[in-house]
């Protein structure tokens, strides 16, 4: 299953993005998971229970994010990076939110 975006109906958030395709050596990119809109990210939760290796979730403020090994002109540099230890679930809270303008891709 790929990325799913769910609109919420409370004042606590506008979208819930679930990607259950991450992990291992798969560098699957999920483009524009928030839609081509601006907004804020307040919480990121990574469930890495089934993986025996740690992982890093990278989020870029862009309508598309292609895995890149270069940081020339910031092309391969994500705005946010979150570490998840092997066999653990971890949450990161951003109290004032992290604003994005073009859409969130991971």
DSSP for 12-72, please give it. Answer: TEEEEEEE---BTTB----TTTT-S--EEEEEEEEE-TT-SS-EEEEEEESS-----S--G
pLDDT at 87: 92
Structure letter (DSSP) for residue 11 = T
Closest Cα partner for 104 from 24, 23, 2, 3?
3
Angle at 44 between CA 2 and CA 85, to 5 degrees: 85
pLDDT at 98: 85
Neighbours of 5 (CB within 10 A): 15
- The confidence band for 21, taking pLDDT boundaries of 50, 70 and 90, is low
Q: Indicate whether 41 pLDDT > 80.
A: yes
Give the pairing type, strands 55-61 and 3-10.
Answer: unpaired
Quick: pLDDT tens for 73-86.
555 677 888 998 99
């Amino acid at each position: 299953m790929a990325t799913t975006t769910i609109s919420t109906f409370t004042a606590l958030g506008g979208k819930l993005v679930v990607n259950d395709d991450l992990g291992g050596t798969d560098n699957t990119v999920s483009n524009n998971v928030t839609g081509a809109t601006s907004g804020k990210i307040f919480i990121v939760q990574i469930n890495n229970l089934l993986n025996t290796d740690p992982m890093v979730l990278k989020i870029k403020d862009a309508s598309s994010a292609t895995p890149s090994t270069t940081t020339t002109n910031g092309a391969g540099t994500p705005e946010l990076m979150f570490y998840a230890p092997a066999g653990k679930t971890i949450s990161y809270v951003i109290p004032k939110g992290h604003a994005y303008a073009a859409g969130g891709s991971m």
